Amino acid sequence: MSPFRASPGFTERWQHFDLDVTDGVATVTLNRPDKLNALTFDVYADLRDLLAELPHRGDAKVLVIAGEGRGFCSGGDVEEIIGELQRMQPKELLEFTRMTGAVVKALRECPLPVITSINGVAAGAGSVIALASDFRLLARSARFAFLFTKVGLAGADMGSAYLLPRIVGLGRATELLILGDKIDAERAERIGLATQVVDDDELATTTAALARRLADGPSFAYGTTKVLLTRELDMDLGSAIELEAMTQALLMTSDDHREFYQAWTEGRGPQWTGK
C-alpha cells in the first residue's frame, strides 16, 4: 500500500461493476449482460475512481477488464445516457464528456498494465476503453466499432483521435473513426489493434495466463515502461532519451535489478518483488 494517502479510505464495494483482486490480479467485470454491458453515468464514474485508487492499494499489479455474457461493452446506454443528454444544458454536457475522457486518461496514466479481454462487441465507448488498454485480447467472434458518427457525433471522442492513429496509423484511423464500420477480430489483428486473437473458448485462459505473467514479473519495471511509453508519445528524441537515461539509472538501484544479478550469479530464476 502506498504510504501517501489522504483522509478518505479505499472503497469497500463498487456498486456498478464487479471487482475481484486475487494474487495481484485485479479484475473488473462489467455486469449488465442484458444490455451488452452498456455503460451508465455511474459506471463511468466508478471506473474513473477505481483507476485512481488501484495504484495506491498495493494488492494489484495488473488490471483485467472484461464483460459478462455475450459482449464486452456496447458503449453508452442509449436510454440511460443518450436519452438523458437530450435534456442537459451545455455545462452539464461538458461535465459528462470530461468525465468520460477522464476514464481514458486514467487508463493511460495508471502504472498498472491493463488487459481488456474482449468477447463479442466492443463498440463506442467500449471500443475506446479497449483502445486505451495496454493489451487487447480478442475472441475470434469479437468485433470493434468506433460508431460515434453513426449517432451523429464526432468520431473523435474520449481521446480516440489521439490514440488510434498511434496504434493503426492515420489512414486507417481516419477510416475507422469517420465511417464507424465494424471491424472483425481478424482485421483488428492484421492492423495492430488486437494484441492476440484466440478461439472463443480460449479467451479466459489466455487472459488469465497473461495476467499471471504480468503479476508474477518485475512489476516496477513493467509499470515504469508503461509510464514512459505514455509520456514519450509527444516528446522529441533528445528529451525521450534523457528521460529514459534518468529512469534507467533509478531502476538500477531497485531491489528487482539487484535480485536479477544475484539470481544470475546463483544460477536460479529471479524472485521479483516489484520494488
Do 240 and 197 reside in the same domain of the chain? Answer: no
Do 93 and 211 reside in the same domain of the chain? Answer: yes
Q: Is the pLDDT of residue 269 over 70?
A: yes
For the stretch 153-209, pLDDT in tens is 999 999 999 999 999 999 999 999 999 999 999 999 999 999 999 999 999 999 999
Number of structural domains in the chain: 2
Do 108 and 223 reside in the same domain of the chain? Answer: no
Tell me the residue range of the domain where 201 lies. Answer: 18-216
Is residue 1 in a domain? no
8 Å CB contact between 77 and 39: yes
Residue type for 168, please?
V
Is residue 5 in a domain? no
Query: What is the percentage of the chain residues whose pLDDT exceeds 90?
Result: 92
Do 209 and 223 reside in the same domain of the chain? Answer: no
pLDDT at 1: 58
Quick check: pTM over 0.85?
A: yes
8 Å CB contact between 145 and 124: yes
Closest CA to 119 of 186, 73, 176: 73
Is residue 24 in a domain? yes
Q: Is the pLDDT of residue 4 over 80?
A: no
Do 122 and 206 reside in the same domain of the chain? Answer: yes
CA distance 121 to 38: 11
Is residue 11 in a domain? no
222-243 mean pLDDT: 96
Q: What is the mean pLDDT of the chain?
A: 95
Query: What is the percentage of the chain residues whose pLDDT exceeds 70?
Result: 99
Give the cell for residue 247. Answer: 529512469
Do 192 and 119 reside in the same domain of the chain? Answer: yes
8 Å CB contact between 155 and 161: yes
Closest CA to 197 of 132, 130, 137, 135: 137
Do 133 and 233 reside in the same domain of the chain? Answer: no
Do 34 and 120 reside in the same domain of the chain? Answer: yes
pLDDT at 8: 77
Q: How far is CA 42 from CA 19, 49, 55, 108, in A?
A: 15, 11, 21, 20
